[in-house]
């Protein structure tokens, strides 16, 4: 049976490419916002959501950290999507024809050297795929979009120049979210565990809470803090560790964490994905 996979953005977005990479045989469901993407899984309109969590150049995708803990969804997988920027023009356009380039500000920022070298005027837009869509509708050879090859295929644009990003290691990490809890088994390959917690209001609580991971040799690959409900005094932490909660050393580390926290919630236990090139 074909499943529906929700992602944020228009058809041809990099999130679309990631969703297709994870679920190549299933139906995609474009959503306007991250809230809509999560909501599609919550209400049953989609079976899974593929959402960006962090980028190797720009860091975390802030909205997602606030949405996931309260979503009621579970992380059941991860995927690393290489981000390859392409200059897309209307059919027949050449680099000499193009005077302006339109895209998401982050995408423009990732292609500064190319834009500067070719003296292109930049036009900020809400997303990459939407820019490709607009350029296709305008039919103006002097204006191009920066987006994925997938967007070019969908909207009938030519790839005028490919892989124009400043850094070739540009990669976005995506999480696969589901209504159903589906934890990876222990002892069957590399596993990650993601959780959120708040420390008790005692001196050096965070330092003490982290001690159990160090003494038990558990690798914490991610630890980030963010405010809760706009309060400067209520801080929540988001963490990824390597290992399964049933592993002895992970269990001991989590037990020690429990002594210094007043809230702890596992968001997912899932197979660890490999970054391309690693």
At residue 232, the pLDDT reads 59
Q: Are 265 and 202 in a shared domain?
A: yes
Q: Are 41 and 93 in a shared domain?
A: no
Q: What are phi and psi of 164, to 5 degrees?
A: -95, 5
> Looking at the predicted structure, is the pLDDT value of residue 222 above 60?
yes
At residue 229, the pLDDT reads 66
Q: Are 198 and 265 in a shared domain?
A: yes
At residue 48, the pLDDT reads 98
Please give the biggest Cα pair distance in the chain. Answer: 66
Q: Are 174 and 38 in a shared domain?
A: yes
Annotation says 174 is catalytic: yes
Average pLDDT over residues 269-275: 93
How many domains are contained in the chain?
3
At residue 278, the pLDDT reads 53
Does some domain include residue 186?
A: no
Q: Are 54 and 92 in a shared domain?
A: no
CATH number for position 253:
3.30.70.260
Mean pLDDT of the chain: 92
Does some domain include residue 277?
A: no
Does some domain include residue 99?
A: yes
Digit-coded pLDDT (tens) for 143-192: 999 999 999 999 999 999 999 999 888 899 999 999 999 999 998 899 99
Digit-coded pLDDT (tens) for 88-118: 999 999 999 999 999 988 899 989 999 999 9
Rounded Cα distance between 34 and 42, Å, is 12
Does some domain include residue 135?
A: yes
Q: Are 154 and 262 in a shared domain?
A: no
Does some domain include residue 226?
A: yes
Q: Are 47 and 110 in a shared domain?
A: no
> Looking at the predicted structure, is the pLDDT value of residue 234 above 70?
no
Average pLDDT over residues 221-248: 84
Does some domain include residue 184?
A: no
Q: Are 41 and 61 in a shared domain?
A: yes
Q: What are phi and psi of 253, to 5 degrees?
A: -65, -40
pTM of the predicted model as reported, rounded to 2 decimal places: 0.89
Q: Are 246 and 146 in a shared domain?
A: no
The mean-pLDDT minimum among 31-40, 193-202, 227-236 falls in 227-236
Picking from 215, 218, 197, the residue whose alpha carbon sits closest to that of residue 206 is 197
Average pLDDT over residues 127-138: 95
CATH number for position 48:
3.40.190.10
The DSSP symbol for 152 reads H
Q: Are 156 and 214 in a shared domain?
A: no
Q: What is the domain extent for residue 246?
A: 191-271
- Active-site pick, 7, 23, 34, 172: 172
Average pLDDT over residues 226-251: 84
> Looking at the predicted structure, is the pLDDT value of residue 221 above 90?
yes
Q: Are 128 and 17 in a shared domain?
A: no
Does some domain include residue 183?
A: no
- Active-site pick, 174, 195, 237, 260: 174
Q: Which two tokens stand for residue 53?
A: 């969590």
At residue 173, the pLDDT reads 95
238 C-beta neighbours (distance < 10 Å), count: 21
> Looking at the predicted structure, is the pLDDT value of residue 277 above 80?
no
Question: Is the Cβ–Cβ distance between 214 and 208 less than 8 Å?
Answer: no
At residue 23, the pLDDT reads 97
Q: Are 69 and 121 in a shared domain?
A: no
**Does residue 25 sit in helix, strand or coil?**
coil
């Amino acid at each position: 049976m074909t499943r529906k996979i929700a992602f944020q953005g228009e058809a041809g977005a990099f999130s679309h490419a990631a969703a297709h990479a994870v679920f190549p045989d299933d139906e995609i469901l474009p959503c306007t916002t991250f809230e809509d993407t999560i909501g599609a899984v919550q209400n049953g309109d989609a079976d899974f959501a593929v959402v960006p969590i962090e980028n190797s150049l720009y860091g975390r995708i802030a909205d997602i950290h606030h949405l996931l803990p309260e979503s009621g969804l579970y992380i059941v997988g991860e995927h690393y999507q290489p981000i390859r920027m392409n200059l897309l023009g209307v059919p027949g356009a050449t680099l000499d024809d193009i005077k302006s380039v339109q895209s998401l500000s982050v995408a423009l920022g990732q292609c500064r050297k190319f834009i500067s070298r070719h003296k292109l005027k930049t036009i900020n837009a809400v997303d990459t795929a939407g820019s490709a869509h607009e350029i296709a509708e305008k039919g103006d050879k002097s204006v191009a979009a920066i987006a994925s090859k997938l967007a070019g295929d969908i909207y009938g644009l030519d790839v005028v120049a490919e892989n124009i990003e400043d850094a070739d290691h540009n990669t976005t990490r995506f999480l696969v979210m589901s209504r159903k809890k589906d934890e990876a088994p222990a002892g069957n390959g590399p596993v990650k565990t993601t959780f959120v917690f708040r420390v008790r209001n005692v001196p050096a609580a965070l330092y003490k809470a982290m001690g159990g991971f160090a003494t038990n040799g558990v690798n914490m690959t991610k630890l980030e803090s963010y405010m809760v409900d706009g309060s400067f005094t209520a801080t929540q932490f988001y963490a990824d560790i390597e290992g399964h909660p049933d592993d002895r050393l992970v269990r001991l580390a989590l037990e020690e964490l429990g002594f210094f926290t007043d809230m702890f919630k596992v968001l997912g236990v899932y197979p660890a994905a490999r970054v391309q090139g690693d």
